[in-house]
Amino acid sequence: MKALLGGVCLCAAFAAHAESLEQAWQAALANNQALFAAGLRVEAGAATLEAAQAAAGPALAVNADLRRFDRAPQGRVDLSALSGVPQLAPLGLPAEARFDLTDRVNTYAGVRATLPLYTGGALDAMAAGARAGQDAARAREDALRQSLKLAVGLAYLDVLRAEALGKVALQQVATLSAYRRDVGNFYREGVVARVDVLGADTALAAAQGRRIEADNALELARAAYNRYLGRPPASAVSVSDPQLAAPGLTAAYLAGRAGSRAELAGLEKLAQARSEAARAKRADAAPQLAAFAAYDWLDNPNLVRKGAASVGVGMHWQLFDGGLARAQARALEREADALLAERADTERAITLELAQAASELANAEARFKVADSALAQAAEQLKIQTNRYRNGLATQTDVLAAQTMHFDSQRNAEDARYGWQAASLRLRRAAGLL
């Protein structure tokens, strides 16, 4: 009795620690490398946006130069005009004078601050494109998260279905074992022929084979579930029935959800990022204006002041580049058009997916109701045929057919129950609500 109570307590404790579907989702989201990579892409998008915004601000640069000339640079002064001055004629001045402008070793240092004034819209396009790229990365992360939750949810339900079907198979073996004992007793009493014993043995062997198949299916379902959660395939699995509620989504609401999926938002934002990149590339052909403030220092013994400060405005205008900027912009625009075309095709596919998911859920609900009714009828028929067989009013074939129908009804009921929950998850995913 104590051992029995201990076993009951152990089972209760094990059930109490069963993993819920929400816990399974959290574990899978925390251990999935593809989702982790998607998060890194979102962070990369944030850094790209930060860089684009920083490009519009001031920049400060320091330059230094240490140079040795093969010979000192020289300057020349024309003195020929002085030869016509009578007072200077006795001096015998040369026609020109030369002098070193600096030493052979020259040192230069400078600091310059610049601020873009006009870039043809390139800076605005860069910021808008980076923002759209970050939004696209977020949308891809959201879509991947929902797809992962669906896969984990289906694997979770597969484990529950396999466990339920395993219990049905085990119950079938137990029932047919008891039936085999009854037939054996009837045979020893001379009530039935040996062919009934052989029939019972055959049915029991088939049930044992189905139990082995059910055990293998459960092992595979648990291994697949563990893979999604980042665990070794042979790890112990204990899950509880989530008992999902009906989604309660109307046809009108589902029709409006077709254009709200994260996949569509991601493609749209990615196309926008390409368009902004094309705009920034076309801006390369426009004049670029920047204000600057600088301080330059030159180690030259001939200078009265070696350092000088300056402010000004600079311009750069690429007048001709062989059509490079236009071709690059055109390529980016074609990529944007391709992404928009892909979005339109994806939206049509999502509309079909929503219709299929809604139909599958309705079908699963109908199957669930029919399966429950069929199970009750099969149980009643098995009871009747068993009593008739014991009273010699039915053949063994009738009993075995009733048992087969009863166990098939049990399997169908479990399939319908978890099939309905799986269809509910698929509809939520199709609507982008998982």
Q: What is the pLDDT of residues 286-320, one digit of tens each?
A: 999 999 999 999 888 777 888 999 999 999 998 98
Q: What is the distance between the alpha carbons of residues 300 and 66, in angstroms, rounded to a whole number?
A: 12
Quick one: what percent of the chain has pLDDT higher than 90?
56
The position carrying tokens 């519009």 is 56
Whether residue 6 is predicted with pLDDT greater than 80 in this model: the reply is no
- pLDDT value at residue 100: 78
- pLDDT value at residue 87: 67
Whether residue 12 is predicted with pLDDT greater than 80 in this model: the reply is no
Whether residue 346 is predicted with pLDDT greater than 50 in this model: the reply is yes
284 within 8 A of 318, measured Cβ to Cβ: yes
Q: How far is CA 142 from CA 139, 146, 221, in A?
A: 5, 6, 26
H-state helical runs in 189-261: 194-228, 251-257
Whether residue 135 is predicted with pLDDT greater than 90 in this model: the reply is yes
- pLDDT value at residue 8: 38
Whether residue 246 is predicted with pLDDT greater than 50 in this model: the reply is yes
Return the structure tokens found at 252.
Answer: 């009108």
Quickly state the pLDDT bin for 15 (edges 50, 70, 90).
very low
- pLDDT value at residue 187: 86
Q: What is the distance between the alpha carbons of residues 165 and 177, in angstroms, rounded to a whole number?
A: 18
Q: What is the distance between the alpha carbons of residues 259 and 267, in angstroms, rounded to a whole number?
A: 12
Of the listed ranges 56-60, 206-210, 360-364, 394-398, the least confidently predicted one is 394-398
The position carrying tokens 């002041």 is 305
202 within 8 A of 404, measured Cβ to Cβ: no
Q: At how many degrees (to 10) do helices 122-188 and 21-31 cross?
A: 130
Of the listed ranges 268-282, 299-313, 388-402, the least confidently predicted one is 388-402
- pLDDT value at residue 160: 95
126 within 8 A of 273, measured Cβ to Cβ: no
Q: What is the pLDDT of residues 45-100, one digit of tens each?
A: 999 999 999 999 999 999 999 988 888 888 787 777 777 677 666 666 777 778 77
What's the mean pLDDT in 114-121?
93
Instruction: State which amino acid sits at residue 304.
Output: V
Count of residues for the chain?
A: 434
What's the mean pLDDT in 364-376?
88
Of the listed ranges 12-16, 54-58, 278-282, the least confidently predicted one is 12-16
Whether residue 203 is predicted with pLDDT greater than 80 in this model: the reply is yes
Return the structure tokens found at 5.
Answer: 């109570």
- pLDDT value at residue 294: 96
Q: What is the distance between the alpha carbons of residues 146 and 433, in angstroms, rounded to a whole number?
A: 8
What's the mean pLDDT in 261-265?
94
- pLDDT value at residue 178: 87
- pLDDT value at residue 257: 81
The position carrying tokens 């029995």 is 4
E strands along 260-345, which residues?
Answer: 288-298, 307-316
Q: What is the distance between the alpha carbons of residues 381 and 412, in angstroms, rounded to a whole number?
A: 17
Query: What's the pTM value of the predicted model, to 2 decimals?
Result: 0.81
Q: What mean pLDDT is reported for the chain?
A: 88
User: Domains of the chain by range and CATH?
Assistant: 19-66+98-106+120-284+323-430 (1.20.1600.10)
Q: Cα-atom radius of gyration of the chain, to the nearest Å?
A: 42
Q: Which sign does the torsion angle of CA 29, 35, 37, 41 carry?
A: negative
Q: Report angle CA 60, 63, 66 to the nearest 5 degrees.
A: 170
Q: Report angle CA 228, 229, 235 to the nearest 5 degrees.
A: 105
What's the mean pLDDT in 209-238?
94
